[in-house]
Chain A
Amino acid sequence: MLALVLCLVPQEAPQPQGFPGLAAGRAPEVEIAWNRLYDTDALYAHFDRLAARWPGLLTREVIGHSVESRELRVYTLHDPATGPADDKPAMWVDGNVHGNEVQGGEAVLYLAWYLLENRDTNARARELLDGCVFYLMPSVNPDGRASWFARAHNAHSSRSGVQPTDDDRDGLFDEDPPNDLDGDGNIVSMRKYVPGEGDYRLNADDPRVMERVPANDRGIRGDWILLGQEGLDDDGDGRVNEDPVGGYDMNRAWPAMWSPEHVQGGAGPYPLYWPETRAIARFLLAHPNVAAVQSFHNSGGMILRGPGTESYGEYPRADLAVYDELGKDGEKMLPFYRYMIIWKDLYSVFGGFVNWTYEGLGIVSFTNELWNDESQDPQKRIDERDRHFFDDKLLLGAGHVAWHAFTHPLYGEVEIGGFAKDVGRVPPSFLQEEMIHRNALFCVRHAEAMPRVAIREPVVSDLGGGLTAIDVVVANERVIPTRTALARDKTVGQPDVLTLSGAGIEVLAGGFRTDRFRPEQIRLQEHEPARLVREAGLGAREELRVRWIVRGRGRAELRYQSEKARDALRTVELR
């Protein structure tokens, strides 16, 4: 109310509102170029700039160290003046568990920047920082990220962490990676001219493009063969590039339907084997207030939810309704993104992160796959020629390594060429900002859905004979329940508790009412009626009616406690 009054007072030089967000507004306090991607150090440095500008609101925590001893940083974003972080519902947002899937890191950074820049001028931004907390981990895999920027890679490599792994079981570790033969920082393809003995030919209009020659009985053969990624047989075992750096998948390492390597490649010897994954698991287990999870990946334009495997079955219906509401909003906020189920619409994943955060911890969790492709439309998958058109016309050909000759020790004269590492999974710079803005704002949508409990005005009735009834409605005003149906079914975490206390008051009976109009329709709790225990919590926008029968007079306090919502309080006077 106070804030409203202040707004009505005309001010001399009104501060321009609406930026960031509206283009004609004021300049941001901290300028960050959103059309670029940043390596691990630069990404962390931007976060530290934000923390330096808003020291009370953004704080850095190191939750562990990566295999290469990089800091695993989680930034906590909220206003501590409005209460400790542990008491507020929290959203966890991370990116870049796959080292090559970098732009999630910028999306996490953008989320912090956008809320901080808008906090003083936008009521919703302020409410988020007051009533909620964000735990932001820009890079789950800082080693993989650093490697992707600093070393020779393609769009798909550096997915793993960097712990040496004997992929080919020959007793040697990471001894046969792809090799940047031409030293240009990209791992591209090798092709060889073998006139009349190949299975590829060059496209007649664009010789950069390889076309497969279909098998036929007419004796038509191609003049080219493809020889895989740029590389050598470093260990002389007759295979090329078969034991690269790392070789595991930190998004198959989580203890939900976790399966060993022979079922799920990349899973590692046991769940949470790598320090990055274990540090995060410990953090989340120590923060039961986390009520929402987003884990950014690339690419394909997806808003993914579990289950990761068909054998899990389906999630409880009540939780699916929550997922669907958020997921469908996401489809509108993210044009051409599809809301999908991992196992059904993508592929089977055992031990995925968002599977664990929901199936293990009972948190409503999504993974967004950032960036479709140059057409942005999943209905029109583009082919190589379309990609060249885009690259030629919109990037002046910057994204392609032209085929050039190389003398290979095994294959002889070959050509090396193909798309650069920052083509295919990350958008070009001019499309970055839109992508990260839309995805960061989907996190805002998700965070605003976190549970908020209110206790409505209690009604006190005299039942005669010294007995008093207190009727009250407790409500969750948001769509995410205080306890998901999964948490209820699997008894994850602590149940919610609603207490009535007062010095002069003896609570004789109490329970949740099952009928709005008939106060005697009540599920009485047998023991400790002053402390009602609610395993199911408060569901999506659920209102519960509670009745206590008490003896005595005076002031009574009602308190609703839940791990994933702020405590709700209300006092009532019994006269």
Chain B
Amino acid sequence: MPTLPLPWVLGALVCVAPQEAPVEAPPAALELLDHARLASELKALAAAHPELVQLVKLGESRGGRAIEALRLAGKGVQDDPARPAILLVANVDGARVHASAVALHHARALAEGYAGDAGVQALLDSTTVFVVPRANPDAAEARFATPRVERRASGTGVDDDRDGRQGEDPPADLDGDGLVTWIRVPDPDGEWRADATDARALVKAERVKGEAGVYRLWPEGRDLDKDERVAEDAPLDARVDRNFPAGWEAHAKEAGLFPTDEPETRALCDFVLAHPELALVVLYDAEDSLVAEIKGVSEEPSARPGGGRRSTTASEGVLESDAKLLGELGKRYRKATGVTVKSEASDKGSFGRWCYEHRGLLVLATALWDVPLEEKKDDKKAEKKEGAEKPAEGAESKPEEPEAKAGEERKGREGKESRDAKKDDEPKPSDDAKRLKWIDAAGPEEAWRFRPWTPFEHPELGPVEIGGLAPFARLEPPAGESGALAAKHLEWFRSLGALLPRVRLAECTRERLGENLWRVTAVLQNDAYLPLQTRAARRAEALRPAKVTLRLPQAGQRLGGPAHEFVEDLPGSGGRAELTWLVQGPDAMEIAVVVETPNAGTATRVAEEKR
């Protein structure tokens, strides 16, 4: 394993060249583990490294499965319980079982690397790492069940079709291939047509251009309630990743009955609240804060929404100064990992949004992988392109157009063909057609990702075709890539500890103003890249500020300045805060300044006389 110089100093952050990886055997493919196996892996890892790794239970899922974290902390944690911690969470979404594997990979690599790897040692001796590999174990279990279905809902069900019955018409595997895919029904009133470049892909017919629909599209299933709608009322609806309080969508079926109603959601919230030492959240899930450009929102105070007593800055979106930090960190992430996957996930009620908007924690979120829209280029070209990336990104990496609320599972079908089609009349492939092209080119090992449309006699609909993208086709990289993807992410992840704010007393002096009269000056400094608190944290008053205390012996008396000073605005990259006190006392007395923070360490320094 290569090691990164740790700690990185700020200046190096922007200009460190990518590390050349030593030639090694390609990393082994990651194995996807069901709940029982994942739980025993976590247990075994903790048992194998008792001095380094602890198993922490966050809570239980609705289905009674334990939600667990590994806490990795090297020596030094006893000396400073307030040292910063990174929380790595994977698979809040539920379907991203692969992300769980990447998180477990990280935990294992850190645990096993600690003894012999100076880089890992430097990270874990200075920083606590919590890894929650599977935040949503109930939904994840569908990955291992038969039939296989890409399921994100795990909570409270509602009467989706408003017929007074709940959960009576769920998706199902009709053709017995072990997968719940899609049904397309020839129907002149349907809203879908075949992509002109690849008839296997479906695109929405645009009536305004005179296009006619040919198909109706349903999830695979019966019409058990005989209402001419197929698989429209599944028993479960609420999603853990829509159930957080920030941007929660009241009355949306996926949002749950109230924020934190889902036990998994509440367990994550309680964990974050119980750990004020958290300084950074890394999210391997559906959300993204590292690839798509984030436009900051103004930090100017505005009226309280809805008219109220307190004025506040906007409560939605990433504030400008935090967006700047994320922009820089995103650039580094893309360079380190080559990932260009955009998120299609909504941030309404998401974990990342709650962490940032309500708790003020910076969230580095990535969706890790998707079926590429471009054909595979050889690695060198791809690297060059990524390396040459400019702040204004190329058109193909711009965020997708906002799409109507079709389920995430169906979103890819809508793509951006309309925009492309305007350029000239030549039919352009839809995103799904591009994905199919990649799948075709990837060979027989990847052919599972698409189930050819196959005629089927549906008990209610008559002749239909069943097929389309298979469950998890867009979430799980090829076996040959998953190990490398995890390894690159581990390299990147290991580098994060050096970015976290750590306070130190850069100066602590006493200056004689007269007999027995002293001016004490302390300078609080943060050399790391990240500020002591994000702008959002300061807005939300969610974190305790740094508490700076003047420590005097009995003989000393404070004549000026408060017993405690509180500092929350301490920028990164060498940000400073200067504090002074006026003190009366003999030459011989010891004057010290003590800094306590929840998540940026502690420091004590005896004032030296300034002459």
A residues lining the B interface (CB < 8 Å)? 166, 169-171, 236-238, 255-265, 269-272, 281, 285, 309-312, 343, 347-348, 350, 359-360, 490-492, 494-497, 527-528, 531, 533, 535
Q: Is the beta-carbon distance between B305 and A263 smaller than 8 angstroms?
A: yes
Check B250 against A270 for contact (C-beta < 8 Å).
no
Using Cβ atoms and an 8 Å threshold, which residues of chain A touch B260? 270-272
Out of B248, B266, B306, B542, name the residue touching A310 (CB < 8 Å): B306
A-B contact pairs, 15 of them (CB 8 A): A166-B544, A170-B547, A171-B596, A238-B563, A260-B357, A263-B312, A270-B259, A270-B266, A271-B259, A309-B308, A312-B306, A348-B304, A348-B307, A495-B162, A531-B164
CB distance from B350 to the nearest CB of A (A): 14
**Closest B residue, CB atoms, query A273:** B260
Which of A256, A261, A310 contacts B250 (CB under 8 A)?
A: A256
- A259 to B540: give the CA distance in the assembly, Å: 11
In the complex, whether B376 has a CB less than 8 A from a CB of chain A is: no
CA gap between A312 and B260 in the complex, in Å: 22
In the assembled complex, the Cα of A166 lies from the Cα of B544 at a distance in Å of 9
Q: Which residues, 335 to 360 on B, are CB-close (under 8 Å) to A? A: 354, 357-358
Contact B164 A495 (CB under 8 A): yes
Interchain CA distance A247-B158 in the complex, whole Å: 36
CB contacts under 8 Å to A, within B304-345, are: 304-310, 312, 315
Min C-beta distance of A537 to chain B, whole Å: 12
- Kindly list the 5 A-B residue pairs having the minimum CB-CB distance in the complex, ordered from nearest: A309-B306, A311-B306, A255-B258, A348-B308, A490-B251
In this complex, which of B306, B315, B547 has the most chain A Cβ atoms within 10 angstroms of its Cβ? Answer: B306
A169 touches B269 (CB 8 A): no
| A258-B259, A360-B250 given; A169·B245 CB < 8 A | no
Query: Which chain B residues lie closer than 8 Å to A170 at the CB level?
Result: 544, 547, 564, 566
Residue of B nearest to A311 (CB): B306
B163, CB-defined interface residue at 8 Å = yes
Residues in chain A near residue B248, CB distance under 8 A: 255, 258
Q: Please determine whether B227 and A260 come into contact, CB atoms closer than 8 angstroms.
A: no
Residue of B nearest to A166 (CB): B544
Which B residues are in CB contact (< 8 Å) with A348? 304, 306-309
Q: Determine the chain B residues whose CB is within 8 A of the CB of A257 once the complex forms.
A: 306
Q: Is the CB of A169 within 8 A of B309?
A: no
Q: What residues of chain B lie closer than 8 Å to A236, measured between beta carbons?
A: 563
Give complex CA distance A310, B306 in Å. Answer: 5
Using CB atoms, name the residue of chain B closest to A265.
Answer: B310
Q: Which of A262, A272, A492 has the most CB of B within 10 A?
A: A262
Check B306 against A255 for contact (C-beta < 8 Å). Answer: no
Is B269 within 8 A of A269, CB to CB? yes
Instruction: Judge whether B566 and A343 touch: CB under 8 Å.
Output: no
Are the C-beta atoms of B258 and A494 separated by less than 8 Å? no
Please, how many angstroms separate the alpha-carbon atoms of A285 and B312 in the complex? 33
Q: How far is the CB of B156 from chain A (nearest CB, A)?
A: 9
Please indicate the chain B residues that have their CB under 8 angstroms from the CB of A310 in the complex: 306-307
On chain A, the residues within 8 Å of B358 by CB distance are 260, 269-270
- Set A171, A495, A535: member contacting B547, Cβ < 8 A: A171
List residues of B whose CB falls within 8 A of some A CB. 158-159, 162-164, 166, 226-228, 245-246, 248, 250-251, 257-260, 266, 269, 273, 304-310, 312, 315, 354, 357-358, 539-542, 544-545, 547, 562-564, 566, 596, 598
Q: Are A263 and B307 in contact (CB under 8 A)?
A: no
A270 to B272, CA, bound (A): 12
Contacts of B354 in A (CB 8 A): 270
Instruction: Indicate whether A263 sits within 8 Å of B162 (C-beta atoms), given known contacts A170-B566, A270-B245.
Output: no
| Cα(A350)–Cα(B245), bound, Å | 13
Q: Are A494 and B159 in contact (CB under 8 A)?
A: yes
Closest to B307 in A: A310
With a cutoff of 8 Å between Cβ atoms, the chain B residues found around residue A311 in the complex are 305-307
Given A169-B544, A255-B258, A258-B245: A343 in contact with B251 (beta carbons within 8 A) = no
**Residues of B close to A497: CB separation below 8 A:** 164
Residues in B neighbouring A495, C-beta threshold 8 A: 159, 162-164
Whether A269 pairs with B566 at a CB distance below 8 angstroms is: no
Extra pairs beyond A169-B545, A169-B566, A348-B306 (16, CB < 8 Å): A171-B596, A236-B563, A237-B563, A238-B563, A256-B250, A258-B248, A263-B315, A270-B259, A271-B245, A271-B259, A309-B307, A360-B250, A491-B251, A494-B166, A495-B164, A527-B226
A42 to chain B minimum Cβ distance, whole angstroms, is 33
Question: Closest Cβ of chain B: how far from A349's Cβ, in Å?
Answer: 9
Q: A263-B308, A527-B226 are in contact. Are A535 and B544 (CB under 8 A)?
A: no
**Min C-beta distance of A288 to chain B, whole Å:** 12
Alpha-carbon distance A238/B540, docked complex (angstroms): 24
Cα A166 to Cα B273 with chains together (Å): 13
Q: Are B306 and A343 in contact (CB under 8 A)?
A: yes
Q: Whole-angstrom distance from the CB of B163 to the nearest CB of chain A?
A: 6
A169 and B541 form a contact (CB under 8 A): yes
B539 — which chain A residues lie within 8 A by C-beta? 262
Query: Do A260 and B540 contact each other (CB < 8 Å), given the known contacts A495-B164, A533-B162?
Result: yes
Question: Which residues on B sit within 8 Å (CB–CB) of A260?
Answer: 245-246, 315, 357-358, 540
Please, how many angstroms separate the alpha-carbon atoms of A491 and B315 in the complex? 28
Q: Identify which of A171, A256, A270, A491 gathers the most chain B CB atoms within 10 Å of its CB.
A: A270
Chain A residue numbers with a CB within 8 Å of B251 are 490-492
Q: Chain A contacts of B315 at CB under 8 A?
A: 259-260, 262-263
Q: Which B residue's beta carbon lies closest to that of A532?
A: B164
Quick one: which of B245, B312, B544, B564 has the most chain A CB within 10 A? B245
Question: Which of chain B's residues have a CB closer than 8 A to the CB of A527?
Answer: 226-228
In the assembled complex, the Cα of A343 lies from the Cα of B547 at a distance in Å of: 38
Look across to chain B and name the residue whose beta carbon is closest to the beta carbon of A527. Answer: B227
Contact residues in A for B542 (Cβ distance below 8 Å): 261
Q: A100 to B179, alpha carbons, bound, how many Å?
A: 59
Q: How far is the CA of A264 from the CA of B306 in the complex (A)?
A: 11
B273 contacts which chain A residues (CB < 8 A)? 269
Contact partners of B541 in chain A: CB under 8 A: 169, 261-262
Identify B306's interface contact among A262, A269, A350, A492, CB under 8 A.
A350
A53 vs chain B, min Cβ distance (A): 38
